[in-house]
Amino acid sequence: MGSTTLLKESGPREVFCGLTSIVWLHRRMPDAFFLVVGSRTCAHLIQSAAGVMIFAEPRFGTAILEERDLAGLADAHEELDRVVNDLLARRPEIRTLFLVGSCPSEVIKLDLARVAERLNGQLQGGVRVLNYSGSGIETTFTQGEDGALKAMVPLMPNSNEAQLLLVGTMANAVEDRLKHLFERLGIPSVSSLPPRQSTDLPSVGPGTRVLLTQPYLTDTARELKDRGAEILQAPFPLGAEGSRLWMEAAAKAFGINGSHVATILEPLMVRAQKALSPYKEQLAGKRIFLMPESQLEIPLARFLHRECGMELVEVGVPYLNRDMMQSELELLPHNTQVMEGQHVEKQLDRVREQRPDLVVCGMGLANPLEAEEIATKWSIELIFSPIHGIDQAADLAELFARPLHRRDLLNNQLLVSV
């Protein structure tokens, strides 16, 4: 078992806020709409983060809180009711409306839970109105998904049926492949949260075993546990090893014979290791520094060290849920420096001092580091890429090999021009 060095720091942070998660949630549930209750800054952030969707019928928007709203809550309530009524009249296909809180709505203490309750009363079930916070004061970008899923849990029907519930957004194609594998393993019923249609919610109850697909769903997991579900402890399905252990945890919970599981998973492991080997050659021995942002940092560090041979300089994480991360922490090498929280200036000083080969960080930090000739990888890219499962291990490694290759090319070009 690895014995990690768990450290903590606080100070200025450089991370996206929870509003960012709308970008992948609205693609997952096309019958839902995300209405940010915020300022023009919030509208600008969400528009630029989701810029690629400019030609699509948008499934997110912003109810702008103007200066007069900030002065009086009554105005803000009136304005919000007006925006919601206009929106629902214009877009009758919306089945679930998420009111998403922001820094401005929090500052004026706008109680979105009460607003949602009032609107649910008015709409009488035609549209379900839920609320959660995406405010930068209290969330980093992946926590927005945790808030949205937590808000859906109370609407899930009760059931005692023995079933596996996969919790967390994954690419649809990856999810289909994983479900097919679970079927082959012999798990009778597998469903997902979030579902592909917001109203098609899976059931939950004492027969439900939950496998988290993402490591940032602390509040949702707690809520599901309160509904009687069992949260399975396993590493996360990133990399071949993590994905295998993740699937084995489910198989064990359903009493499936280990040799049957091995028959199905072993050929996939052999194929994954073969596909990984060219990237392993490029990555082995390279030093990586992970800044805290997406909450995927610990599973990624585990994969990059154990399956790609990288050296871990520092593994930052926005917050550490030790129970949820236990299986991951056990797989990290002895004395890995895990840093919870952030003091961005101090962290950048450590990066400059250590000169790692690659830094995983937010978009705002990548350019300055690249200018100092340190290769970087945007952590947000990992959230948008289909990286879960044994079959995706090589694609995941390739995401880290690419910036190193690019840096090599740049260095060679510089040498040639000197």
User: Which residue lies nearer to ligand SF4 by CB, 38 or 389?
Assistant: 38
User: Which residue lies nearer to ligand SF4 by CB, 142 or 208?
Assistant: 142
CB 402 within 8 A of CB 279: no
163-167 and 358-361 beta bridge pairing: unpaired
CA distances from 361 to 292, 294, 408 (A): 7, 9, 19
What contacts 180, CB < 8 A, 6 or more positions away? none
- CB 104: neighbour CB atoms within 10 A? 22
CB of 406 to ligand SF4, least distance (A): 30
Residue 5's DSSP bridge partners are 337
- CB 406: neighbour CB atoms within 10 A? 12
Going 42 to 44 to 48 to 50, the CA torsion angle's sign is positive
User: By CB under 6 A, is residue 136 in contact with ligand SF4?
Assistant: yes
Tell me the window of 38-46, 71-79, 280-288, 384-392 that interacts with ligand SF4 (CB under 6 A): 38-46
Question: Which of 32, 35, 45, 374: binder of ligand SF4 (CB under 6 A)?
Answer: 45
CB 235 within 8 A of CB 328: yes
User: By CB under 6 A, is residue 147 in contact with ligand SF4?
Assistant: no
**Burial of residue 395, with CB atoms counted within 10 A of its CB: 0-12 exposed, 13-18 middle, 19 or more buried:** middle
User: By CB under 6 A, is residue 49 in contact with ligand SF4?
Assistant: no
Cα separation, 266 vs 98, in Å, equals 42
CB 100 within 8 A of CB 134: yes
Of all helices (H) and strands (E), which one includes residue 185? helix 172-185
Residues 313-352, one symbol each (x = binds ligand SF4 by CB under 6 A, - = not), give ----------------------------------------
With contacts defined by CB under 6 A, how many residues of the chain interact with ligand SF4?
A: 12
CB of 270 to ligand SF4, least distance (A): 45
User: Which residue lies nearer to ligand SF4 by CB, 190 or 344?
Assistant: 344
CB of 334 to ligand SF4, least distance (A): 38
- Give residues 88-127 in contact with ligand SF4 (rule: CB under 6 A): 102-103
Cα separation, 307 vs 290, in Å, equals 17
User: By CB under 6 A, is residue 42 in contact with ligand SF4?
Assistant: yes
User: Which residue lies nearer to ligand SF4 by CB, 36 or 315?
Assistant: 36
User: By CB under 6 A, is residue 38 in contact with ligand SF4?
Assistant: yes
Tell me the window of 134-142, 255-263, 287-295, 404-412 that interacts with ligand SF4 (CB under 6 A): 134-142
Q: Pick from 169, 167, 170: which is nearest to 224 by CA?
A: 167
The one-letter amino acid at 400: F
User: By CB under 6 A, is residue 181 in contact with ligand SF4?
Assistant: no
User: Which residue lies nearer to ligand SF4 by CB, 102 or 392?
Assistant: 102
Question: Which of 3, 5, 41, 172: binder of ligand SF4 (CB under 6 A)?
Answer: 41
Residues that bind ligand SF4 (CB under 6 A): 17, 19, 38-39, 41-42, 45, 102-103, 134-136
